[in-house]
Amino acid sequence: MTRYLNTTGNSTLGIAICDRCSTKRALHELASDPNAPGLKVCRDPSEGCIDKYDPYRLPARAPDPTQLPFYRPDTPLEAVPVIDWLRPDD
**pLDDT tens, position by position, 46-62:** 888 888 877 787 788 88
The answer, yes or no, to whether residue 22 has pLDDT greater than 70, is yes
Cα 13 from Cα 64, distance rounded (Å): 50
The answer, yes or no, to whether residue 4 has pLDDT greater than 70, is yes
pTM score, two decimals?
A: 0.53
Q: What is the mean pLDDT of residues 24-32?
A: 88
Cα 24 from Cα 4, distance rounded (Å): 9
Q: Which residues pair with 32 in a beta bridge?
A: 40
